[in-house]
Structure 1
Amino acid sequence: MTIRTRIACVVAALAASAAVLPAQAQQPAAPAAAVKLGLVTFLTGPAATPFGIPSRNAAEVVIEALNTGKAPAPFNKVGLGGLKIDPKYVDEAGTVANVVTEFRNLVQRDQVDAVVGYVSSGSCLAVAPVAEELKELTVFYDCGTPRIFEEKARHYVFRVSPHATMDNVAAARYVLGKIKNLHLYSGINQNYAWGQDSWRDFQGALKVLAPKAAADKVLFPKLFAGEYGAEISTLLTSKSQVVHTSFFDGDLEGFIFQEQARGLDKRMPIVMTAGETVVWRLKDKLPDGTIIGGRGPNGVLARNTDIRNWFEKIYRDRYNTPPTYPAYQMVQSLLGLKLAFEKAQTNGNKPGTEDIIKSFTGLEFDGPAGHVKLALGDGHQGISETAYGTYHYNKKTKEPEITDIVRYPAECVNPPAGIEAEKWVAEGMKGAKCN
């Protein structure tokens, strides 16, 4: 056999060997599966501008940072445990039936791994049982009604953000710190779960803390009514020393403009439990002396920490405005889900829903809104400290300012585990630790 013939035989043998190699050895490895998240908030309608758009913007900028590994520790692992996040944004606007239908579509049609969302308490109350039915990991990020985990135990539902009892107990404590001889107060709240629960807890706390004070005008206009002339006329006849409102979105802004035209805030200060959302939008249009809450230590009430400053910077750099409390709550929820996912993960694989639930239950961590502990609802409901302050517009700097900030520990304004919020307040807030 000649040398040329031998070479030809070797080449033929090598070619034959290559032909029988497994197909996967000849192809590039498939990319790791992404984690599909459904993100639901108001993208249209009256709640979009103050709540939904800031929340979506926060999700977009933070998911981008997570997917590129540019978040600070302990959130610096790419995406969720090295798997990129693939978000799908859905509009919460519409009827409750429509909200439930869209949730089912995310789970059954789009096959998302988890859902993070919902501003409206009505949405959360409707979605919670469906999440349990479909066995879908669901994180409520903003809705505040305490009924979610008090009416029934939930396995697949979590809420990192504290519920609204905290907002209103702290508001009562702050009011009494500002008005030492409170004897008469009033309230105007939307006539649905959020407004009713908010007033119940504010009034209930005052009955405990200032038993001689009485409620005068108690008003519940229709949700998204927009026109409050009759209610403002009623409040102007009152000798109340403060007015409580949990109004949000367009209802809050409409009420502010309408009451100022008639001087209600000159007669009595207004405590706005969701007022932080309008601070940067209204600026000098928001009355000085308004008592401002932010559903926790969020936005202008957030502590000066590294993680808060990181979020504040990337949000400002992208959108040229500071993030408000709905944006903080969205990010706090996403970061909680990230930590639970990575705690449940093994060998870089996507963990199962039950494994994530196990690691999420009772989770504690520090985010832009400070320390949160999932301590209620069998470890599914978060608690945190909260803060209130008094609003002033600085005419020299042309910037809003919050003064007289008072912070309340989580155990001061949240009920202990296993006790319903309404019962805890009504029975004197036993066990509250406020020092």
Structure 2
Amino acid sequence: MKPLKETSMKRVVSRGMKPLALAVACSSLFSAHGVFAQSKSIKIGIVTFMSGAAAGPFGVPAKHAAEVVTADLNDGKVPAPYTTKGFGGTPIELVYVDEAGSTSKQVSEYRNLINQGVDYVVGYTSSGNCLAVAPVAEEMKKVTLLFDCGTPRVFEDASYKYVFRPVATATMDNVGAARYVAWRKPDLATYAGINQNYAWGQDAWNDFGETLKVLKPNAKAVSSQMPNLGAGQYNAEISSLLGAHPDVLHSSFWGGDLEGLIVQAGPRDLFKKSLTVLTAGETAAHGKTRLPDGVILGARGMYGMFAPDNALNHWLRASYSAKFADTPSYPSYKMTQSLLGLKAAYEKAQAANGGKQPSPEQVITAFEHLSFDSPAGKINLSLGNGHQAAQGTAFGIVKNVNGAVTVTDVKQYSVDEVTPPPGVKSADWIKGGLKH
């Protein structure tokens, strides 16, 4: 297997410390809470978009969060219950891989990453990449965390031992969006959608539409536009949507596609003529693309402007802002949540192993059905045989104030309102009337 080129993989020691300096510093430390127990580091492969249209709104914020979390964990600066340095006293080292490219390229990159000796992998924004990589992780017996992708098919259509997703699926986003729309527009008669034509977009549109059939059975779908991922130009789709004139427009667009849609639809007043819900729209609040007033905004969970008032949220926002002069977006929160979940599982396994370094199998046992704290609140891996997190979410209406995006009329939804019970597929739960 050929090693990756330097342009596609870069090993980075946390906080920019030179390898020699790190070795000297680590060798002088001894076992105790607050100092490192040993010099050997735990290597985590971080896979996210570092080039292409998805890098700016997704990959870079996620990578920044990984840097902040790793540096603060290694320094013991993360609030309780994560005050122990590194993972159980062992420092963390990150290895980065660019997610840009085809799914076959990502499978090849994943194999190369494992062959380079990482202990864990945390990655993947694209649902297509998650679906492709998950069986390879199982084949190579490497504990792998999916930090962002949303398709529920990962654990609803398969079962994995080594794969975890400590964040929610897109079912939460789209059921929550439908509930918000039904509440916001009680006289809803027609709705339409523009979503990317692959697993993420297809699942999103199906879940949204099927939920509305339960909540608003007399409402009719009048148009469904499904451009290819990364199409970039949406004038034909916008014309079709304007012609259909739906009461509500749904979109799960993300990354560069979302920014392109906003730029192209704005001058044609699409978002003014139809009440628009952007289930993954929060990232656009951080860029140069201006979100119009009146759009319903989602952040794929209790992230960003919807995050709770807790110590971990205050820490993340303060530490991220101090380093990057910006506030963390939801990809940052989800990367943080995944790394903290891995730390919680590792240290639970370590404690069960008498304080010694746990094996991958012991970490898996500790991770299954884990409940852990995050900047978004308490997270429970209650789905997918204990490998898939279930979360509540929130939506609000965009209101620009002095150049900043804020939200009004925020409504929160509990886990049971937006997530199926264990052992039930999302589509079946929705069609069955959203019952628990």
Q: Which TM-score applies when normalising by structure 1?
A: 0.90
Residue 68 of structure 2 corresponds to 61
AA in 2 matched with 1:186: A
Residue 16 of structure 2 corresponds to none
AA in 2 matched with 1:373: N
AA in 1 matched with 2:78: A
Match of 1:377 among 377, 384, 394: 384
AA in 2 matched with 1:38: G
Q: Whole-Å Cα distance in 2 between the matches of residues 49 and 326 of structure 1?
A: 11
Matched, 1:326 2:331: yes
Q: Whole-Å Cα distance in 1 between the matches of residues 166 and 196 of structure 2?
A: 24
The one-character-per-residue Cα deviations of 1:128-150 (angstroms, maximum 9, x if unpaired) are 00000011000000000000001
AA in 1 matched with 2:242: L
Residue 117 of structure 1 corresponds to 123
CA 1:190/1:343 → structure 2, altered by over 3 Å: closer, same or farther?
same
Residue 14 of structure 1 corresponds to none
Residue 79 of structure 1 corresponds to 86
The within-5 A match list for 1:300-319 is: 300-319=305-324
Q: Whole-Å Cα distance in 2 between the matches of residues 316 and 402 of structure 1?
A: 20
| 1:66–1:77 CA contact under 8 A, matched in 2 | yes
Higher mean C-alpha displacement, 338-347 vs 46-55: 338-347
Matched, 1:129 2:135: yes
The one-character-per-residue Cα deviations of 1:71-92 (angstroms, maximum 9, x if unpaired) are 1111110000000001101101
1:28 shift after superposition: 8.4
Residue 295 of structure 1 corresponds to 300
Q: Whole-Å Cα distance in 1 between the matches of residues 28 and 172 of structure 2?
A: 53
Residue 278 of structure 2 corresponds to 272
Residue 405 of structure 1 corresponds to 410
1:239 shift after superposition: 2.7
Q: Whole-Å Cα distance in 1 between the matches of residues 325 and 363 of structure 2?
A: 35
| 2:46–2:97 CA contact under 8 A, matched in 1 | yes
Higher mean C-alpha displacement, 345-354 vs 302-311: 345-354
Match of 2:422 among 414, 417, 426: 417
| 2:291–2:405 CA contact under 8 A, matched in 1 | no
AA in 1 matched with 2:262: I
AA in 1 matched with 2:152: P
Q: Whole-Å Cα distance in 2 between the matches of residues 231 and 301 of structure 1?
A: 31
The within-5 A match list for 1:62-211 is: 62-108=69-115, 110-211=116-217
| 1:245–1:273 CA contact under 8 A, matched in 2 | yes
CA 1:29/1:369 → structure 2, altered by over 3 Å: closer, same or farther?
closer
The within-5 A match list for 1:204-223 is: 204-223=210-229
AA in 2 matched with 1:101: S
SS in 2 for 1:406: strand
| 1:384–1:409 CA contact under 8 A, matched in 2 | yes
1:282 shift after superposition: 3.8
The within-5 A match list for 1:388-399 is: 388-395=395-402, 398-399=403-404
The one-character-per-residue Cα deviations of 1:108-144 (angstroms, maximum 9, x if unpaired) are 2x11111000000000000000000011000000000
Q: Whole-Å Cα distance in 2 between the matches of residues 253 and 89 of structure 1?
A: 25
Q: Whole-Å Cα distance in 2 between the matches of residues 219 and 248 of structure 1?
A: 15
AA in 1 matched with 2:394: A
Residue 35 of structure 2 corresponds to none
| 2:294–2:398 CA contact under 8 A, matched in 1 | yes
1:280 shift after superposition: 2.2
SS in 2 for 1:237: helix
* Number of residue-to-residue matches in the alignment: 401
Q: Whole-Å Cα distance in 2 between the matches of residues 86 and 401 of structure 1?
A: 36
AA in 2 matched with 1:366: D
| 1:82–1:348 CA contact under 8 A, matched in 2 | no
AA in 1 matched with 2:145: V
Higher mean C-alpha displacement, 262-271 vs 288-297: 262-271
SS in 2 for 1:33: coil
CA 1:29/1:368 → structure 2, altered by over 3 Å: closer, same or farther?
closer
| 1:364–1:374 CA contact under 8 A, matched in 2 | yes
| 2:194–2:225 CA contact under 8 A, matched in 1 | yes
Matched, 1:362 2:369: yes
Q: Whole-Å Cα distance in 2 between the matches of residues 325 and 28 of structure 1?
A: 38
Question: Aligned residues: percent identity?
Answer: 49
Residue 426 of structure 1 corresponds to 431
AA in 2 matched with 1:116: V
Residue 335 of structure 1 corresponds to 340
Q: Whole-Å Cα distance in 2 between the matches of residues 29 and 349 of structure 1?
A: 17
SS in 2 for 1:402: strand
1:347 shift after superposition: 4.6
The one-character-per-residue Cα deviations of 1:204-228 (angstroms, maximum 9, x if unpaired) are 1000110000100111011100000
Q: Whole-Å Cα distance in 1 between the matches of residues 310 and 405 of structure 2?
A: 20
AA in 2 matched with 1:361: E
Q: Whole-Å Cα distance in 1 between the matches of residues 154 and 409 of structure 2?
A: 33
1:305 shift after superposition: 1.3
Structure 1: 5+ residue stretches without partners: 1-26
Give the aligned CA root-mean-square deviation in angstroms. Answer: 1.4
